[in-house]
Amino acid sequence: MLIIGEKLNSARKQVREMIENRDVKAIQDLARNQVEGGAEMLDVNSSAASGDKEENMEWLVKTVQEAVDVPLCIDSPNAEEIEKGLEAHNWDKGKALINSITGEKEKIDRLLPAIVKYKCAVAALVMDERGIPDNSKTRVEIAEKLIKVLTDAGVPLKDIFIDPLVVPIGTGDKNGLITMETIRSVKEAHPEVKIVTGLSNISYGLPERKLINQVFMILTMSCGMDAVIIDSTDKRMMAIAKTAITLLGEDNFCGGYIQAYREGKLTFEK
């Protein structure tokens, strides 16, 4: 399973100020800490920072990749920012993932040329002009549409990451089940397509959020989740992820688990 570090996001006040102040050391320390925690890719988002949006993204991408040898998830609602991030990305460090397109025709039309040009991986959200569907059937239908659009444009199935979307469980007691049903259905129809999502939204507004996130991660992994956007500096979360990977048969002879134990990464501290 691919672990994508979530912390370099300008929605966080601290990160937003780092970007605005061009604080190279702080950004690079945050990048290193996530990779040292186990992240194999880092999500980078500069959209909420003041100033020139494209310049902010270019600076953030270059600054992060000067410090770590992992590819980036270029995260923005703005097509121009995403393209600037792809242009700045160091492809010697791996294939970039863009986050994201949706089933909205306007967004597909704006981003598809850049996807084809850079041959990047794509996170595709199962929502469209109607918003986020409140059932798995419609989410799967949107996923099918997105897969067809992308494959028709030449994107390999292995580079498509469907995001089944996570809506807070506090706003609807079936929201977790809808996400899991969507994951299972997409994976059954398209085993080569990957599934990615950010887990933390499931617990929004509830106490002991980390506990909910941890349990939900295990449940989604058992449904076929391939990649998660999480806090890779959270030692307990990472220990649970490594253990779940082993129990789901994705760790040859428990080699990864044993190595993590030897490196002291199976701590269950809060």
Q: What is the pLDDT along the chain (270 residues), one digit of tens a residue?
A: 999 999 999 999 999 999 999 999 999 999 999 999 999 999 999 999 999 999 999 999 999 999 999 999 999 999 999 999 999 999 999 999 999 999 999 999 999 999 999 999 999 999 999 999 999 999 999 999 999 999 999 999 999 999 999 999 999 999 999 999 999 999 999 999 999 999 999 999 999 999 999 999 999 999 999 999 999 999 999 999 999 999 999 999 999 999 999 999 897 765
Number of domains composing the chain = 1
Q: How many CA atoms lie within 13 A of 14 on its CB side?
A: 5
pLDDT score, position 130: 95
What is this structure's pTM?
0.95
Contact 200, 170 (CB under 8 A): no
Q: In the chain, at which residue ranges do the beta strands (DSSP E only) sit?
A: 2-9, 41-45, 72-75, 97-101, 121-125, 160-163, 194-198, 227-230
Residue 160 falls inside a structural domain: no
Residue 128 falls inside a structural domain: no
Residue 48 falls inside a structural domain: yes
Residue 250 falls inside a structural domain: no
Residue 238 falls inside a structural domain: no
Residues 256, 121: Cα–Cα separation, whole Å: 26
Q: What is the DSSP secondary structure assignment for residue 155, as one 8-state letter?
A: -
Q: Which of 107, 72, 102, 101 is nearest to 87 (CA)?
A: 72
Residue 6 falls inside a structural domain: yes
Q: Which of 235, 213, 217 is nearest to 227 (CA)?
A: 217
Domain of residue 26 covers: 1-94
Phi and psi (nearest 5°) for 162?
-85, 130
Residue 89 falls inside a structural domain: yes
pLDDT score, position 269: 64
